[in-house]
Chains A and B, each alone.
Chain A
Amino acid sequence: MDFVPHDDDTITEMLEVIGVNKIEDLFKDIPKDLIINGLNLPEGLSEPDVLKKLKELGATNTIYANSFLGAGCYFHYIPTLVDFVVSRSEFYTSYTPYQAEASQGYLQAIYEYQSIISRLTQMDVANASMYDGSTALAEAAIMASIITRKNQIVILEGVHPEYIEVVNTYCWGQNIALKIVPIDKIEDELNQEIAAVLFQSPNFFGNIEDVSVLAKKIKKTAPNCLLIQCMTDPTCLGILKPPGETGVDIFVAEGQSFGINPSFGGPGLGIFAVKEKFLRKIPGRLVGKTKEINGEREGFLLTLQAREQHIRREKASSNICTNQALCSLSALIYLVSLGKTGMRKIATQNFQKAHYVKKKIKKIPGYEVLNNKPTYNEFIVKCPDIDSLIQECKKLNLLPPLPLSKYYPEMKDVALVCVTESNSRESIDRFIKALELANNNKEARY
């Protein structure tokens, strides 16, 4: 199957118009020894056969009834209308809206997305999207380096370890030095040569920082240093003070929580928002509102393209071209579906349910919640036997929490637990049971 709509007669007719005898004549520029004799790939499959094959392959990925795993990718309920809208093929089969007059629908939607992210974060300007949270953070670091003309970046412990790896790769590319420091040592590390301080709140371990206090501390010692906040589950913004009110210069987040399926970690959505004064240094696409040249009607178009690679080439602020447009549309539909009431409710439930689980855990012998700051929907727990906990969770059809030793080998027997609104009381009860069983297993062994 090749989705080619021609029959043989049509092909002959077209070749005649072109003035060649056979299709091979169209490839005469290619040196003969470069022409291959077919690909060593299987024959094409019919639609039912390909579906069957993929279902068999998919069956080896275990799907759990409930999840206590987060760590940068979250199971939140997705309103049905999100997929309904993004399945409109007028949206998903379109290209980047270069021809504004034939793309007003999508351009308006992106404008609404930029607006809703500004409203949610209280930042002045949001771009049309980046690839994901990790690359958004890396691009923010580079942007800060361009703005300040300094090439040192400080990153505070507690940023998602995979994000740190990505920032590290990007910074190495541009000869920017990166230093990771604990949050309570930040004042010792500050100096005038630092372009930006990157931090995550709520951080990878779940801790919520008092960002206003952190911002004051940093600006006092290094007034030109930019403060970059990152977030992996921005549903917390239904309750938590937004970055625009706490002194943050650039805010980035992974927007997967806003109506996007986990899909093994991608595609997600890189949210990127800045203070007004950095507007012209922002990477990626921006949609603006303007008027007709010969009329009074307002419309939308891609704007400030002079920052971008297709105009500026090597002088562009970033190389980004394709972004995550359809995912930003999902996020927009998700946010308008929830509205202010829904955003408050979802953040409240995540807070409350995680708090409820924490309280329960504190009563189980052998376990200790390690966070010493307020937390949102994730927190870390010292376990008597984490391997046993993982096994018990699986037996009870629960996707187990993350063993932190995956990223921090020294943190043995510590689990990063995630509880969202999608965890019912019944699933929480099962999780508590798994924790108790894991402790009993441990005691039985000794």
Chain B
Amino acid sequence: MDSRDSLIFEKGNKNTQINFIPKMDIEFDELESFIPKNLIRDEVQIPDIPEVEIVRHYVKLSKINYGLDSGIYPLGSCTMKYNPKINEHIARLAEFSQIHPLQEENEGALQLIHNISNMLAEITGMDGFTLQPAAGAHGELVGLLILKKFFETKGVVKNKIIVPDSAHGTNPASAKMAGFSIIELQSNKSGEVPLDHLEFAMQQGDVAGIMLTNPNTLGVFDKQIKDITKIVHKYGGLCYYDGANLNPMLGICRPRDMGFDIVHLNLHKTFSTPHGGGGPGSGPVGVTNELIPFLPKPCIISTENGIVCTHDKTHSIGRIKAFWGNFGIILRAYVYILTLGAEGLKRVGQIAVLNANYLRTQLQKKYNLPYNRICQHEFVLSDKNMPNEITTEDIAKRILDYGFYAPTIYFPLVVNGALMIEPTETESKDSLDKFIEAMYQIYEEALNEPEKLKNAPSNTPIGRLDAVNAARKPILRD
């Protein structure tokens, strides 16, 4: 039986009853007596579909979709950890889900944003946070606009940003959106920032700062991190921390202590809020005292009269999103932090690193590991030396056949044919062992039955798709 289903639009029925609108309980006039006829449209082309058909269709689709609750989801830099169910339950309570962003009695909501700001400040060492950004990249944009405003206010022209070649793609894209041009810095052989190149770039005088993730996308903690931030500061620049990889650092070390001035976090990675198939997320930004005046407005602050919201900020970069941010996501992260507490968060960092190193140790027995050293939350394999010209894509697609999700592939760009693997702390040893076993078998197949990889996947609802033609003649709607 085909596990797939036709498009929902094919399921209409002209006699379907629609049961989701309350009965009209007022006297009414002809619509056209108060709306000009030329503003009225023809019927919307959405069929009327019986409820049972809708439910079955989407249940069927859910069954051909792999989620974290289906098994290991080893996407590097994505931190696919278990999403506790209590978070979902609390986010649906009427006290939180049914409040309007502009209502006056919002004490609990503001208190919650204030509390989590303080907790994130403790976790990162920063002095102040904004919870407005809706995602990591949105947080990056906020952080860079803060940088921009900081120099603008000082009357200094600095319009370049240093981004290492191992950085997430959002970093350079965000810097551009904030009006900066990018200086790409090549990592050295151990995957770290070369200090001499950094110093040379900073000496040019027009560099506003650096964007770094540490540990970086190779899973390497840059030992010279304090020297890096010192050099940037020496030339008047500021240091931006991309918090996508904060998970292994929880309770162990803090971006502020490394010398960073601005930090964004991904609540949907580190703090267990679900990825939702690509969102919604939340990307809070934390800064040092010096930069607090530049945070987006409004700001939520603590005063003698309790927690209040202030718009009174002359140096603010302005508003970055309507209302307060993705409150429903912030709420889930708050529940997570409360549930784990100080000790729990520290264990997250420790076990995330333990799991990654266990996987690394086992997988490097068969696969090429370009940066062979103890890693933090993730590590990167490559398809170098694979028998029979097997590529990273072949390996990834074959992993799907074994019933797992594949790692991040072809990223970071500094490794050719990269397979970037991040298991997170919530995978059991048993789960990791099953993944390792599959990877070993795949290697054996690459040696002896390469066609199995080249034709993979074959156990999924559909075979490998033609991406080239899809982009050439895009079909984006029915």
Contacts and interface: CB of A to CB of B under 8 A. Distances in A.
Interface string A405-426: 0100000000000000110110
B322 A238 contact: no
Nearest to B341: A44
A50 B101 contact: no
Contacts of A91: 62, 65, 67, 276-277
A93 interface: yes
B279 A374 contact: no
B112 A165 contact: no
B18 A342 contact: yes
Contacts of B92: 83, 261
Nearest to A280: B474
B1 interface: no
Nearest to A355: B34
Given A41-B345, A54-B93, A169-B319, A4 B351 contact: yes
B387 interface: no
Contact of A240 (B7, B39, B276, B339): B39
A108 interface: yes
B278 A262 contact: no
Interface residues of B, number: 202
Interface stretch (A5-13, A187-195, A220-228, A438-446): A5-13
Interface in B5-47: 5, 7-9, 12, 16, 18, 20-22, 24-29, 31, 34-36, 38-41, 43-47
A131 B93 contact: no
Contact of B471 (A88, A165, A304, A406): A304
Interface string B178-198: 110110000000000000000
B58 A85 contact: yes
B377 to A, nearest CB: 11
B328 A261 contact: yes
Interface stretch (B74-82, B202-210, B232-240, B439-447): B74-82
A240 B88 contact: no
B67 A341 contact: no
A319 B177 contact: yes
Contact of A6 (B106, B119, B351): B351
Contacts of B82: 3
A264 B426 contact: no
Given A103-B66, A321-B136, A240 B49 contact: no
B318 A168 contact: yes
A341 B16 contact: yes
Contacts, number: 685
Nearest to B51: A81
B148 to A, nearest CB: 7
B137 A105 contact: no
Which of B135, B176, B321 has most A Cβ within 10 Å? B321
Contact of B65 (A30, A105, A261): A105
Interface residues on A, range: 35 or more
Contacts of B25: 424-425
B279 A323 contact: yes
B346 interface: yes
Contacts of A422: 22
B343 A93 contact: no
A310 B169 contact: yes
Nearest to A266: B326
B151 interface: no
Contacts of A345: 18, 21
Interface in B133-189: 134-138, 140-141, 144-145, 148, 168-170, 172-179, 181-182
Contact of A99 (B22, B68, B104, B406): B406
B335 interface: yes
Contacts of A324: 134, 276, 279-280
B135 A208 contact: no
Contacts of A109: 58, 61
Nearest to B182: A314
A19 B358 CA distance: 9
A95 B407 CA distance: 11
Contacts of B35: 208, 239, 351, 374
B464 A286 contact: no
B222 to A, nearest CB: 8
Interface string A301-321: 101111011111111101111
B44 A340 contact: yes
Contacts of B341: 1, 41-45
Nearest to B428: A5
A281 interface: no
A303 B467 contact: yes
A340 B362 contact: no
Interface string A61-93: 111100101011101010101011101111111
B324 interface: yes
A183 to B, nearest CB: 16
Contact of B474 (A29, A31, A279, A309): A279
A254 to B, nearest CB: 8
Contact of B122 (A40, A118, A285): A40
B372 to A, nearest CB: 13
Given A58-B96, A210-B36, A303-B471, A325 B277 contact: yes
Given A101-B400, A374-B34, A266 B324 contact: yes
B137 A339 contact: no
A289 B22 contact: no
A239 B38 CA distance: 11
Contacts of B136: 321-322
B251 A210 contact: no
- For A75, A310, A322, A390, which residue has the most chain B Cβ atoms within 10 angstroms? A322
A254 B174 CA distance: 23
Nearest to A310: B169
Nearest to A212: B38
A2 B352 CA distance: 11
A262 B103 CA distance: 11
Contact of B101 (A55, A93, A264, A319): A264
A323 B135 CA distance: 7
A1 B27 contact: no
A127 to B, nearest CB: 9
A302 B101 CA distance: 33
B466 A319 contact: no
Given A58-B96, A261-B328, A17 B362 contact: yes
A11 B109 contact: no
| Residue among B69, B179, B476 with the highest chain A CB neighbour number at 10 A | B476
A23 interface: yes
A366 interface: no
Contacts of B16: 339, 341
B48 A132 contact: no
Given A60-B111, A162-B323, A69 B280 contact: no
Contacts of B27: 356
B327 interface: yes
B9 A112 contact: yes
Contact of A336 (B46, B170, B337, B428): B46
B342 A41 contact: yes
A326 B276 contact: yes
B106 A299 contact: no
A406 to B, nearest CB: 7
Nearest to B352: A4
Query: In the complex, which of the residues B65, B75, B396 has the most CB atoms of chain A within 10 Å of its own CB atom?
Result: B65
Contacts of B8: 112, 332, 336
Nearest to B115: A57
27 contacts: A3-B81, A20-B357, A26-B376, A29-B221, A29-B223, A39-B251, A41-B341, A47-B86, A50-B90, A54-B96, A69-B100, A73-B323, A77-B22, A92-B276, A96-B278, A101-B465, A111-B476, A116-B9, A172-B145, A212-B38, A239-B31, A240-B41, A263-B328, A265-B322, A293-B463, A320-B135, A355-B29
The 5 closest A-B pairs by CB, nearest first: A58-B95, A265-B101, A265-B323, A44-B341, A105-B65
Given A301-B465, A338-B18, 14 more contacts: A3-B340, A17-B362, A30-B221, A92-B67, A96-B277, A129-B279, A131-B279, A166-B319, A173-B144, A264-B109, A319-B173, A322-B266, A333-B58, A355-B29
